[in-house]
Amino acid sequence: MAFKYAIALTGGIATGKSTVASLLGLSGLRIIDADAISHTILDQNAAWVKKHFGEEFVTPRGKVDRAALGKVVFADKEKRKELEAFLHPLIREEIERQSEKQDSLEYPYLIDIPLFFESQAYDIKDSVVVYTPADIQLKRFMKRNGYSEEESKRRIASQMPIDEKKARATWVIDNSGNLKHLQKECANFVEAIKAKYPTPKK
């Protein structure tokens, strides 16, 4: 059975989830990256993207232009639903396969799932949310991606509000300060996991 020892790692756009995943990985926690899996599956199905969205969304090298496709699906709810309906079952299948492998080690591991609460597709009891206040989230997203405030708000609004995710979380990693603050938050989380679970058997 998959997800027995899984902890969902989630957050919002530009809350710093990727940085946290890197820091936790350096601390020795094992991580399954749903984003990386989705990118691989999307490229493997470039022909489907070309058929349903247009050849302009596939590069000459056969890779999906995710930035261009993102602009379309974030502006059109129906197109986003179409893409998600195709991708999510394939992504889940691969995550489940990797999860079963990790479960065999009988120790907690993280599954980095951006839309964990939104999709409700994973039977995972515990979660850790990377939290940044909404105003800081917006500023960071605009700075990182170079989008207008209107476009940035639209993309952020496509997800559950970060404060609601925080309320649902088992643990919260606060990323409202600097890197040193975030490193301490991650270290505290790792210590909480070590305190809650015994040393791995394998």
Q: What is the pLDDT of residues 99-131, one digit of tens each?
A: 999 999 999 999 999 889 998 889 999 999 999
Helix or strand holding residue 109 (H, E): strand 109-112
Which tokens go with 7?
A: 């902890």
Q: Averaged over 136-147, what is the pLDDT?
A: 91
Residue 1: C-alpha distances to residues 121, 122, 150, 152 (Å)? 15, 12, 43, 39
Whole-number pLDDT of residue 74:
85
For the chain, what is the mean pLDDT? 92
| Among 91, 129, 115, CA closest to 7 | 129
Name the H helices within the chain: 17-26, 34-44, 46-53, 66-75, 77-103, 116-119, 134-145, 149-157, 162-168, 179-196
Whole-number pLDDT of residue 200:
61
Q: Averaged over 40-66, what is the pLDDT?
A: 94
Whole-number pLDDT of residue 131:
97
Q: Averaged over 121-148, what is the pLDDT?
A: 93
Residue 75: C-alpha distances to residues 14, 99, 104 (Å)? 19, 33, 42
Residue whose token pair is 């970060």: 162
Q: Does pLDDT of 89 surpass 60?
A: yes
Q: Give φ, ψ of 9 to 5 degrees.
A: -100, 120
